[in-house]
Amino acid sequence: MSFLLLNSCVYNKEKIELPSPEITYTNYAKNIVGENCLACHISGYNTNGTPAGNRNFTTYQGVKQAVDDGVFKQRVIDGVAPTMPYGLPQLSQEIKDKLTLWINQGAKE
């Protein structure tokens, strides 16, 4: 008497997403703002002395105020005119997605 035993193994090729660390102002958004916004949004005035929407992005509180009133998301992420960074190429979709996640997580410092 013989038996044939068949055993199959299933390989799941799905990509497993590992939890990423929380995005904060300090560990992410601050660098993006510094590289793309501070040329104009320093003390609420452009470097040529004209008002920059009275936005001062040199501190977390200044950026958070723009996030809280919706202007940051509108201009930087959603592309509402005048889009930011003004006169420069739009941020990459990856950066916009991470900034959106930061905002959706409460725009924590």
Q: What is the per-residue pLDDT across 17-45, written as a single tens digit (0 to 9) for each?
A: 545 678 999 999 999 999 999 888 886 56
Q: What percentage of the chain carries pLDDT values higher than 70?
A: 72
| Torsion angle of C-alpha atoms 84, 90, 94, 97, degrees rounded to 10 | 30
Greater confidence, 87 or 11?
Answer: 87
Whole-number pLDDT of residue 47: 62
Q: For residues 8 and 90, which has the higher predicted lDDT (pLDDT)?
A: 90
Alpha carbon 47 to chain centroid, angstroms: 24
Residue bearing the bigger pLDDT, 52 or 59:
59
CB 37 within 8 A of CB 43: no
Enclosing H/E stretch for 34 = helix 30-36
Q: For residue 2, is pLDDT > 90?
A: no
pLDDT band at residue 51 using 50, 70 and 90 as cut-offs:
low
pLDDT > 90 fraction of the chain, expressed in percent and rounded: 59
Position 108: which residue type?
A: K
Angle at 78 between CA 31 and CA 28, to 5 degrees: 15
Does residue 9 have a pLDDT over 60? no
Torsion of CA 92, 93, 98, 102, to 10 degrees: 100
Q: Give how far Cα 90 sits from Cα of 76, 77, 85, Å.
A: 8, 9, 7
